[in-house]
Amino acid sequence: MDMYDLRGKTAVVTGAARGLGLAFAEALASAGCNIAVVDILPKPLDALYELQSKYDIIVKYYQGDITSQTQVQEIVSQVVRDFERIDININAAGVVTDQAFLTTSPENIQRTFAVNVNGSFFVAQACANAMVNRYKSEHGNVPTKNATTGTIVFIASIATHIVSSAQQISCYTASKAAVKGMVKPVAMELSRYGIRVNSLSPGYTMTDMMRDLQNRQPDLVKQFEGETLFGRIGLPQELQGAILWLCSDRASGWYTGQDLLLDGGASSWKHPVISN
C-alpha cells in the first residue's frame, strides 16, 4: 500500500486560493485527498478547481475571515456536512508587512496577529473538535494507542530560526513564533485522540508575495538568494513533499510536536557581511 495514499480523506487548507497554500492543496490532491479551502479572497485561482478533474477528487471553496471565530466555526461545520469528515488541517493563511520595530504601527500588530495567530488557532481548534467528535463516535472517550484520527500542520517560518538583515519584520516574526509555540502543547493535548500536530517552517519561497517583492525590491530578493546555500529562492513544489510527508500517517505517524525547517540551508551558515 502506498504510504502517501490519502484517498477518502478530507483536508481543510487555509490561504489556498493561491500561493503556497495552493501548492500544499495540490500536493494533497495528488495523493487523492479531497480539499476544502478557506480563504478571504472572493474566488480562488482557476488552478484550484483544476485539481478536481486532474486528480479525481472533490474541491470546495469557502470564502471567509479566519480572524472571526464565529465564521470559522460555521465554515468548518459546513465542511463536515459537505465532506462528512476532516482528517487534515493545514494553516497556510498569513500576512507580513515590512516595518521597522521602532515605528511598527498598532494596526500592523493587530492585523498580523489576528490573521497569523488567532486565525490559525481558530481554524485548528474547530478542525480538531471535528476530529475529536469523529474519534469519540468510533472509540468512545477512551484513549486508543493505535488511533490515527488526523493531523494538523501550522505554517511557521524561517524567520523564527534566523533573522535576515534584509527585512524588518519583527511583528511577523513574533507572530510566527507564537504559531510555532502552539505546536507542542496542542500536540500533547490532542495526542490522546490520535491527532498529530506539527509545524512547517519554509524558507524563502517564490510565492505571489515573493514575485511582488521581486518587482518592487529586486535587491531584497537577491539578498534572499545569496543567503541560501543553493543561491536561489525555493519553489513552492519543493515544499510539497514535506507537507505530504507531514500529513501521511503511514509516513510520519511517529512524528508530532515538532517544527520541520525547510530553508535551502539558509540557517546553516554565517551569511556574508552586508554593507549598509
β pairing state of 59-63 and 88-91: unpaired
Interval 162-185: pLDDT, tens: 998 888 999 999 999 999 999 999
Counting DSSP H helices and E strands in the chain, the numbers are 10, 7
Residue 41 counted as domain residue: yes
Q: Is the dihedral of CA 103, 105, 108, 110 positive or negative?
A: positive
Interval 183-221: pLDDT, tens: 999 999 999 999 999 999 999 999 888 888 888 888 888
Residue 224 counted as domain residue: no
Residue 270 counted as domain residue: no
Least confident interval from 10-24, 135-149, 164-178, 255-269: 135-149
Q: Which residue has the higher pLDDT, 211 or 87?
A: 87
Residue 28 counted as domain residue: yes
What mean pLDDT comes out for the span 133-141?
Answer: 91
Q: What is the CATH number of the domain that holds 254?
A: 3.40.50.720
**Hey, what's the cell of 177?**
513564533
Residue 4 counted as domain residue: no
Assign 263 a pLDDT band (cuts: 50, 70, 90): very high
**pLDDT value, residue 274:** 59
Interval 44-62: pLDDT, tens: 999 999 999 999 999 999 9
Number of domains in the chain: 1
DSSP 272: P
> Residue 80 sits in which domain range?
10-207+235-261
What mean pLDDT comes out for the span 144-152?
Answer: 88
Assign 271 a pLDDT band (cuts: 50, 70, 90): confident
Residue 114 counted as domain residue: yes
N-terminal to C-terminal alpha carbon distance within the chain: 55
Question: What is the pTM assigned to this prediction?
Answer: 0.95
CA 146 to chain centre: 26
Residue 67 counted as domain residue: yes
Residue 275 counted as domain residue: no
Which residues contact residue 144 at a Cβ distance below 8 angstroms, ignoring those fewer than 6 apart?
Answer: 194
178 contacts 225 by C-beta, under 8 angstroms:
no
